Structure formats: structure tokens, C-alpha cells
Amino acid sequence: MTATIPNLPSLYDPFSTEAKWQKFWEDNQVYKADPNKGGEPYCIVIPPPNVTGSLHMGHAFESALIDTLVRYHRMQGRNTLWLPGTDHASIAVHSMLEKQLKKEGKTRYELGREKFLERAWQWKAESEGTILNQLRRLGVSVDWSRERFTLDEGLSKAVVEAFTRLYEEGLIYRGEYLVNWCPASQSAVSDVEVENQEVNGNLWHFRYPLTDGSGFVEVATTRPETMLGDTAVAVNPNDDRYKHLIGKTVTLPILQREIPIIGDEYVDPTFGTGCVKITPAHDLNDFDMGKRHNLPFINIMNKDGTLNANAGEFQGQDRFVARKNVVSRLEADGFLVKIEDYKHTVPYSDRGKVPIEPLLSTQWFVKIRPLADNTLEFLDQQTSPEFVPQRWTKVYRDWLVKLTDWCISRQLWWGHQIPAWYAVSETDGQITDNTPFVVAKSETEAWEKAKSQFGENVKLEQDPDVLDTWFSAGIWPFSTLGWPEQTQDLATYYPTTTLVTGFDIIFFWVARMTMMAGHFTQQIPFKTVYIHGLVLDEKGQKMSKTKGNGIDPLLLIDKYGTDALRYTLIREVAGAGQDIRLEYDRKKDESPSVEASRNFANKLWNAARFVMMNLDGQTPQQLGNPVATELSDRWIISRYHQVIKQTTDYIDNYGLGEAAKGLYEFIWGDFCDQYIELVKSRLQADADPVSRRVAQQTLGYILEGIMKLLHPFMPHVTEEIWQTLTQQSADSPQTLPLQVYPQIDANLIDSTLEEQFELLIATIRTIRNLRAEADIKPGVKVTANLQTESQKERQVLTAGQDYIKDLAKVETLTITDKQENQTITAKKPQKGLKTIGLIIVAIIFGRLGLAAGNAIDDIPIVGTFFELVGFGYTARFVSQNLLTAQARQKLWTQFFPQKELEQSQEPENAIAGVIGTIQVLIPLSGVVDIEAVRAKLEKSLSKAEAEVQSLSTRLNNPSFVDRARADVVQGARDALAEAQKQAEILRERLKGLM
């Protein structure tokens, strides 16, 4: 009975394959974590993408890195959980919805909070659905049953718990402070949500007259409109120019307000005029100075960026309109001294994309120092967390040292509403800066607290503000596992193992998670922080919406497949934390690098098809593990275990790019291009049965191992091949993600054998290259002579001579000592002497023949007959043995037997190559049309020499060298060097044909 041979389709279709296995994995809950399973836990919580649209290439890169780690550790037997989820992105979503309303001619206040939030939840449902589907397309191995959202019921409960605990511990307070205000979103933003941009601005110089009429002081500012809120002028008390003025007053232009001149060492005497205006309500440094000197705080700004009643005649004007008008008024009144061009840094709102306005406001704050100092102790005493690359540890530490109190309230509606209720009955029904409040976990609890403090008739109103998004994000690693409840998930998977994230949110997110976790759980929330780089565009620039140079990952997935994109992104990583560059042709929407990864998948697919067609319908398990006896089998098995070691070492140390490249080289080079070719003859029906069986076992064993090694990087194609190779049952199939990752057997690693086999492969490659150079047809077998002084190399070449003959199409192969060959060659007779000797031999034979003829001449008839025969024989002898060099060589060796000697000589019309210390010679006579080859080489040489001449003339021209761009000149030099090298190679090849 003939066994059924399972096989793959002739062409790999990534799209149907990937969709099939993504559905299978999710439907069968392959990635569902089980805290009761046992095994060392390995947990990663996803950096939650914002529900603001769709994923970008950075998300694809990050997801590919995380999924590779998770799949690898799952196959290593770890109890693995990758927890998915999304973030509500308070400011981003809120701003987007307000823009939509503006287009409709509405405001959120007209719509009302309830209706506004309905629209927000509707947007969340649509956007989150898009994002989660994109994550599914990326093939991520997350546990979808544990999917979380930062505003879901469980996480909202955790947020309230965290807020109330911090408040009760005195670590959250409400107070007036100068905050970063975004007029676009009309909300406070944290320091880390501010992006400093360098701009070309101005520095305006004004005179402030001394009130006593004795003169004036000159101040300089980049924000003239803020002078309307000035409450002092400051000088350095050690500045001899101004210290006599301390205690006097100036009259503020326009508003005619009398303000003091104060002395403060913060003032830099070398900056500007050394005399600065102080606006405590609109500048952070001025705020601190105002507190030190008990100055008034005058706010001139409305929350929308317009000026308020304190700005006098400029009330209602936009801040930038007011700036121009204030300058014009000062100039008209004679107070403007000069205007200088001035490049300086302006803080912009990361979300609102407008310059932020320092604004005095009553907000909620977290006292950050106790949290930050506690986190620093974990870092300094326990090196927790560990950063990869390590250089980010210092950046993280420096940030913790410099942190100031964290403003956590936002004047928005979308988000976690602050769990504080105001007793508005105490302040005429309004929430003011002085309205008393209670903090509670629920409205019911708030009423109970309020009644006990303010009586039964108290009226309560919850704070309308919401918490900073990063507050909920700060507790993400443990709130998603059930905190504050002591769940089994929390006990099993917390602290998580690894955080994979970009360097740009170390401050936004990483530091806040460690501070919050250190306080609430007394543990850092992850053991390792793996910081990855950015995906740069084809020009090496950062992708951004502003530049419009982003690349849609789904576009490349639709063109090349998920595995191809994932593998490309990982393989491009040259080291942990490094940026990667993605090749991309925007005109064609094509990526050569992703296409190369698709070709790799096709190569693997075709190799798997060949293997399965030659296993006689048996699985690797049925064939059994190979007991290798032949050189090639022992070599590939040694290489396989060497690659297992290399791959596991790289992944364990976050060298994912290096691991991907190593697998590529092994699979494409060693397995597909070398081993499969080496065993083809052993797979024939008439081959030795024992050798054939071992070849089949080895092929099956290595192919299955490759599928497991490569699975974390290319999960879909490996699953499809593995299912077919192992002939899984359709009713109850096993699945590759749950198989055991290959384990190293050090006894099967033979580094010496690998080095020796590399020599054989290099020799085969060289002979193939020489054949191609000489245009030797594929079906023609050649003679090859390998010369080396190394006895060890000769032994290796002799042991592998059958492989050389088979793969390089060599009929006659000689392996000789190069040194001995050179000695013998020195004693070798010259061609002319050899020819003269052979002529003498011919004359001797002629004379003998003549003598014999003369003796027979006397016999009638017979004599004439022998004369004719002798003449004919002599003519035949000369034509066969003397007319050509090959014939003379043959006749010479008959009389002077030196067969081994002559085989080792470098023949005429041969092509030569070198591998290390081995010289390869292939005689071309009788194999190719030498004259045609010579003509071809001469033509190529002429072209190369002409190129050399042209480039040399160009580079010898001072006008070109001096005026052309440096990169153009260097390009010409590089081209010249390449042309010279090419000409040199061609001359050497021609020399071999002489």
C-alpha cells in the first residue's frame, strides 16, 4: 500500500494562510493564560494604544517585538500572559470631538455633558474596533479574554481607589498653582505633555519710568502682553548698576500701576539689561519669586487665550493680537526702546499644538517627592527595574530626581471624573477656590461624609474635571490584573516580567508606573524595561503626521503579508534600542526590504515542499531522530544545535534583530542552499536504503526544528508548514505556538567539523563561480585541481571530494600539495626542449624503420609493400603525436612516466580562483571556446579601462574636485576604485588563458 504524501500548494498564499490561523488561534483560545497551570510566569501588559484612530508603523514594530518575546517564552514552557487593552486618551479624544462639534456649529456646553459622553463612547467603540482588528491582523498572541480599557468598570474602580488612598495619605491636595495651560483644549497639561520648539521670535525692550521721576529702568521680554500683569521689577542685589534702586518703585506703562523694584539673586545680570519684569501669575520663575517677596498675583488671561478685565483696554483680545497692540501702544507712548530678532524656545502643547500659557489656576496635585524618592530607592538599592539598553537608566534616574508636584486635574469631560464632591451650599451654589469638599469612593459615601460635616441640608456637586490620562495609565500593570482586589491573576502574574516601550514615554508613562506601583504594591511593576527605537522612513527621518511621511502597516501587510512585515521590522534592529530604517518606494507603495522577507518565506515554503515530497508520506516522528554517520548529516545537525544556542542567547539578551538574521543565514544558506542540495542524490529510489533513510530523518528533524525556531518571528507560515509536516488531525490538532522550543544538545555540536565543512562549501562556491565566469554550461563536467600546502586542508577536501564533485559538477578532481607542485614545476622541461626530444625520438624510429626497410628491400614485392607501410606509419605518428601540444604531452609521459607530476601542473588555458590558502584550477581546453571567452574578457577589460580613464581624468580636473559637492566627488572616487579593481580581476583572468 502506498503511503499518502502530504504536501503544500505549489505557491505560498500568505493572505489566506494568515487569516486562517489568526481565526484558529483565537477561536481555540490558544493564548488564554491559566494561573493554575504552573510554570514560571511570564507576563507583559500591552502599552495600550489610544482610541484615536488607527495603528501606525510604530505600533506594528512594538507589537512585533513583544509578540516575538511572548511566543518564545511560551514555547520555553513559561506560564505566559500577554494582556491586551486600549487607553481612553482623554485630551486627544476630547479635542477631536470638539473639532467635530465646531464643524457642526455647536459647542460641548450646548450639547451637555451626558450627550457629549455618549458621542465619546460611540467614537471609542468604532475606533477601538479598528485598532483591535489591526492587532489581530498583526497576529499578536494576546489573551483576548482579558482585554481591558482604561475606562472600564474594573479599572475605574482601581483609579478611584488609588486617588482616595493618596488623598487620605496626604499625597493629593487641591491648591492654586501655576500650571501649563493649553488654550486649544482649555485644560491644564503636565510638563511631559509640553514640547519645546525653537522659534525665530523677537526680544522687545521697554522703559519703565521711576515713580520719583529720577529716570527709568529698561526691561526686555519675549511676551510683551504679559507686562499688563507685572507686579514688580527685579534686579540682582549684587549688580552695582541697579542695587541703589532696590526699594524704589516704577510706574507700569499703560495701566499706570505703581510696582516695586526688588532684589533677588535669581536675576542673571548678564542677560538682557540685567533688569527683569516680574509677572507671578504668568511665568513659573516669576511665580516662585512672587512667593518669596509676597507680591500680588494678577491673572490677565482667560482660559481660551484671550485677555480678561485685568488687561484694561485690551480685554477680550486674543493673546497674540493683544501682543501687537500692546507694543504699538508702548511705542506711541514713547516707552519702546528697540526690537531685536531673537531665536528662543517656546513650549507647545503636545495635544493642542499651540503655545502653552503659564496660568495661575486651582488644580489637583500629587505630592511627587515621596513617590519619586521611594522609586529611587528601588533603583539604587535593587537595580529595579533593569533597563535595556542600560544607558536609559541614567535618563530615568535623572528624571525622578528633578520631578515636581504633578498636576493631575484636566478641565475636560472625557475621562475619570475626579471623586471629589463640593458642598456648594456653603458657597452660594458655586464651586469656588474656597468651596469645601469631600473625597469619597462613591456618591453615596460622599453624601454620608458631607452630611456629617455640613448637616442634612447640604448640597453636593461633583468636581467636573477629570484626571490626567497618565494617572490611570500609571496603575495599568496592576489594575489590569485585578488590583485592588487580591485576584489569582495578580498573585500569579504580578509583577510583570518585561515592559516593551519607546524611549519617548519614559517620562510620560514608565516613571509614573514605577512610582505608583512602588507606593501601592511595594514592588516595581516589571523586572525589565526594554526600550526600543523608532521606525524611520526611507530617508532616515522620524515618521510623523506633520511631515506626512508615515507608512501604513496594513498597506504593506496587504501587499506582502503579516509575517514579511513583522520579520522585516525585527531583522532591521541592529542592536537593542536602535532606530530602524524601512525601505519604501512611495510612488509604487512598495518596500524592497519587506519584499525580501516575503521571498524568504517563499524560499522556506519551497524547501518544505521538497522535503515533504521526499519523506515517503512519513512525519518526522515516524521517521525518528537521525543517527548521523555521513559528513553532511553530522554537519547540518551540528549547525542546527549551534543555531539553537545562538538564537536562545540572543533572545534572552534582547538581541532580537541578531537572532532573526542568524536564522535567516542558517535556513537560506546552510539548510536550503547547501544541505538539501547535498542529499538530493541520496533521496533517489535507487540510492543506498540506509543512507536514504538517514537523509530523510535528518531532513524531517531539521525542518521541524526550523519551524519552531522561526515561529516567534514568522508565526503564520511556520504554523502552516508544521501542521502539514507533522500531519496534525483536523479533529484535534496540536498547534505550533504550544510546542516546546528546540533544546540544545551540546554533544551534537562539532565546531571543528563546521569549520571544515565551511571550507568544502567555500570550495564548491568558488568552483561554481569559476564555471560561471568561464561560461561553462551547467551540464558540462569539468576537471578541477585543488592545491594547498596545508595537510589538514587536503584531508578535509579529500573527505568531502564526493560533495565537491556532485555539487560543482566535477568529473576529475585532484588534490595536491601546492609546495611540492612548485618544486616539481621548477624541474619541468621547457616546451621547446620537450618538442626537440620528441622529434629525436621520431627520427630514431624513422632510422630503425629505414634500416629494416633496406633489409627487406631485397625481397620482391614485399619490399615495395613495406616502403608504403613505413611511409604511412611515419605520417600517422607525426600527425597524432607531434602536431599539437596535447599530443606531445601525451607521448612525453609515455616515455617519461610522471602522471602524478603532470596532473599537478598548472595547465595552459585554465581559470583560477583562491579560497584562503587553497588554489583552484579548472582547465578550459575542450570545455569551452577559449577564444570566445578571451574575446569576452578583453571586451569587458576595455570597458573597465575606459571607465578608469574617464574617472581619472575627471578627478584630476581641479575644477571638478573643488566645485562639485563632496558626496559627488567621493562617489567618483569610489567608482574609480571599483573600476580599477574590476580591471585588475579581468587582467588576471586573461592571464590564466594565455
Angle at 469 (CA atoms; ends 420, 385), nearest 5 degrees: 115
For residues 639 and 573, the answer to whether their CB atoms sit within 8 Å is: no
Paired with 348 in beta bridges are: 195, 355
Whether the predicted pLDDT of 904 surpasses 70: no
* pLDDT at 828 (0 to 100): 38
* pLDDT at 823 (0 to 100): 37
> Which DSSP symbol is given to 514?
H
Distance CA 688, CA 140 (A): 46
Paired with 198 in beta bridges are: 345
Full strand arrangement of the beta sheet holding 420-423: 437-439, 420-423, 460-462
Q: Which of 272-281, 548-557, 907-916 has the lowest mean pLDDT?
A: 907-916
Look up residue 206 and give its three cell numbers: 521697554
For residues 909 and 934, the answer to whether their CB atoms sit within 8 Å is: no
Report the half-sphere exposure of 461 (CA within 13 A, side-chain side).
13
Three-state DSSP at 962 gives helix
* pLDDT at 877 (0 to 100): 59
Distance CA 472, CA 158 (A): 8
Burial of 686 (0-12, 13-18, 19+ CB in 10 A): exposed
Confidence of residue 921 (pLDDT cuts 50, 70, 90): confident
Look up residue 830 and give its three cell numbers: 621547457
Q: Of 585, 619, 651, give the one whose Cα is nearest residue 67.
A: 651
Q: Which of 203-212, 630-639, 882-891, 979-988 has the lowest mean pLDDT?
A: 882-891
Three-state DSSP at 785 gives strand
Q: Of 718, 715, 688, give the one whose Cα is nearest residue 703.
A: 718
pLDDT tens readout for residues 589-600: 899 999 999 999
pLDDT mean over 257-285: 91
- Close Cβ partners of 543 (under 8 Å, ≥ 6 residues apart): 56, 57, 58, 534, 535, 536, 537, 549, 550, 551
* pLDDT at 900 (0 to 100): 41
Distance CA 266, CA 30 (A): 63
Q: Which of 415-424, 687-696, 849-858, 968-977 has the lowest mean pLDDT?
A: 849-858
Distance CA 936, CA 929 (A): 11
pLDDT tens readout for residues 390-420: 999 999 999 999 888 998 999 899 999 999 9
* pLDDT at 869 (0 to 100): 45
For residues 52 and 86, the answer to whether their CB atoms sit within 8 Å is: no
* pLDDT at 4 (0 to 100): 66
Which secondary-structure segment (H or E) carries 218? strand 216-221
How large is the angle between the packed helices 689-710 and 631-652, nearest 10 degrees?
10
pLDDT tens readout for residues 633-667: 999 999 999 999 999 999 999 999 999 999 999 99
Phi, psi torsion values for 389, nearest 5 degrees: -70, 155
Q: Of 479, 483, 463, give the one whose Cα is nearest residue 471.
A: 479
pLDDT mean over 822-845: 47
**This prediction's pTM:** 0.80
CB atoms under 10 Å from CB of 4, counted, come to 8
* pLDDT at 866 (0 to 100): 43
- Close Cβ partners of 101 (under 8 Å, ≥ 6 residues apart): 107, 108, 111
For residues 966 and 949, the answer to whether their CB atoms sit within 8 Å is: no
For residues 920 and 914, the answer to whether their CB atoms sit within 8 Å is: yes
Q: Which of 762-766, 801-805, 904-908 has the lowest mean pLDDT?
A: 904-908
CB atoms under 10 Å from CB of 480, counted, come to 29
Whether the predicted pLDDT of 161 surpasses 90: yes
Confidence of residue 18 (pLDDT cuts 50, 70, 90): very high
Look up residue 319 and give its three cell numbers: 493673546
Paired with 79 in beta bridges are: 41
Mean pLDDT of the chain: 88
Whether the predicted pLDDT of 285 surpasses 90: no
Distance CA 274, CA 286 (A): 15
For residues 497 and 467, the answer to whether their CB atoms sit within 8 Å is: no
